[in-house]
Amino acid sequence: MKPTHANLSNHSGTSQTGVLFLHGLFGASCEYDKVRPYFENLGYQTHAFDLPGHGENRHQALDEIDTDLIESNILKEYQEFAQSCDRIVIVGHSLGGACSLLLASHQPQKLAGVMTLAAPYEHGYYLNYTHGFLNVPVPYLLKGLTHYPDQAHPNIPRPRVKLQQVSGIRQQGNQVLTHIQGRLHQVEVPVSLVHSPYDLTVPYAEMEKLEQALLQSQVPRVETHTVYTCGHQIYPKSGATAQVTQLAHQFVESCIPVNTEAIQLHS
């Protein structure tokens, strides 16, 4: 039987550190198919799955997916992946970055860090901005945002969205952000924020707001990185793909506790 994108997730590795990848709105787990081997070749285990209403789960209507469904889904996937890992670092893009922080607020066992890529804080999507509609190609508006925005990545299975669903999707997305804003004080792991000033979907200012909110919530460590060679989309391919992968690798390494006993034995 041909494996689904989600079934590509579990790989054996020499390390007990896992990297969990979460895609964004209109995305799919297969966006990470080309970056995951990089981490697996270094001995990490990786996992990626399709959020409700996305990828292989496109049969679920996006405007009917609420925060509770998203939370239960990511917690289930996390807990299953955690069975094969000693520690896990999450890398989430856009909505996936917001969901990563939502997951971190539950303080799950074995979570070691969260990296967000172009994640929103107050404003979920381009649809919250008056100028946001200018970023949507006219043919997609006329056809009901069908498979938006797969012009650059036509092989990614996009959910089919009708124009009348936009309001519901925006409402559900903002509900996720409202939950996060009230629970950042429960995040107890390092957080790394990556964003581009050329992001027309989630403005760069969102990272600055999120950084301040995390610092005010006394999150153990908050770091920010600015990338200049992409817009909102980083994976599966952009000018910043290699740079962000390196940043993710460095962050994962920084979240792994140093074995001081082994260092003493070899010193």
Domain range list for the chain? 6-256
Apex CA 181: angle with CA 64 and CA 66, to 5°? Answer: 10
Q: How confident is the model at residue 175 (pLDDT cuts 50, 70, 90)?
A: confident
Quick one: which of 93, 90, 100 has its CA closest to 44? 90
Q: Contact 238/229 with Cβ under 8 angstroms?
A: yes
Structural contact between residues 31 and 11, judged by C-beta atoms closer than 8 angstroms? no
Query: Is the overall model pTM greater than 0.75, yes or no?
Result: yes
Average pLDDT value for the chain: 79
Contact indicator for 73, 99 with CB cutoff of 8 Å: no
- Report the percent of the chain where pLDDT is more than 70: 69
Query: Could you please report the per-residue DSSP string of 5-52?
Result: SGGG-----S-SEEEEEE--TT--GGGGTTTHHHHHHTT-EEEE-PPT
pLDDT digits (tens, 9 = 90+) for 181-191: 989 999 999 99
Interstrand relation of 222-226 and 45-48 (parallel, antiparallel or unpaired): unpaired
When pLDDT is cut at 50, 70 and 90, the band that residue 157 belongs to is: low
Architecture of domain 6-256: 3-Layer(aba) Sandwich (3.40)
Whether residue 122 has pLDDT greater than 60: yes
